[in-house]
Structure formats: structure tokens, C-alpha cells
Amino acid sequence: MNSTEKARNLRKNMTKQERRLWQFLRKKNINNLKFRRQYPIGKYIVDFICNEKKLIIEIDGGQHNEAQNISYDQERTEYLESKGYTIIRFWNNDIDNNIEGVYQEILKYLIY
């Protein structure tokens, strides 16, 4: 499966937290900035991206605390940053328990 097909599959099978943030981002329409979801960049697929601001938003579950995933995430972050992107990460429980706080944090990266 190529990255476009994989991204399409991920869009169809978003987690509860990804769906919630996606609805929030779409509804807010911040400064007419467009977000895309499950977007391929090189060999990686990012959860959400605002290409105009080169901002990537990642939502992480508990598996991202496991040793092999920490290493993979670091490699992935270094690659994306080398392409000029800024990456911000939120935990699933941030989305579940403080969506407004998540939104406020995202705004900090979008209004400047």
C-alpha cells in the first residue's frame, strides 16, 4: 500500500480523538487557514497539517510512550522539522478533557 492509499485508509478510520479535533478545526475556520488530515509527507503520514503555516498537529495515544515508538517519533520529528515544519503534539486525554485548551494552544501557532 502506498502512502496515498494508507492516508486515505487512515482518514476513514480516525480515532475518536482525531475525529473530535478534526470537527473542532473545521468548525473554527481560523483566519481562513485550511487544515488537512492524515496527510503524507515523504514516508510519513501526519495527523493534521496547515500547509500555509507549515504546522503539523499530532495526537498521541499511550503507545507513544513505548521505547520503539519514542525512537520512531524522534526520527520522524527530525525529518519533518528538516523540511521546515513545526510539530505540536497532544495526548489523547488532552483532546478528551481539555479541547478548548488544545484549541488555544494551536491558536498560538496560527495567529502569528
- Note the pLDDT tens digit of each residue in 61-76: 766 455 667 788 889 9
Q: Answer yes or no: is 43 within a domain.
A: yes
Q: Answer yes or no: is 67 within a domain.
A: yes
Q: Residue 94: CB partners within 8 Å, gap ≥ 6?
A: 101, 102
What's the rounded mean pLDDT across residues 50-56? 95
Q: Answer yes or no: is 110 within a domain.
A: no
Q: Answer yes or no: is 111 within a domain.
A: no
Determine whether 37 is exposed, middle or buried from the number of CB atoms within 10 Å of its CB (0-12, 13-18, 19+).
Answer: buried
- Domain holding 39, by residue range, is 3-104
Query: What CATH code is carried by the domain that includes residue 70?
Result: 3.40.960.10
The pTM for the full model equals 0.85
Q: Answer yes or no: is 89 within a domain.
A: yes
DSSP-assigned letter for residue 52: T
Q: Answer yes or no: is 79 within a domain.
A: yes
Number of domains in the chain: 1
pLDDT computed for residue 112 by the predictor: 65
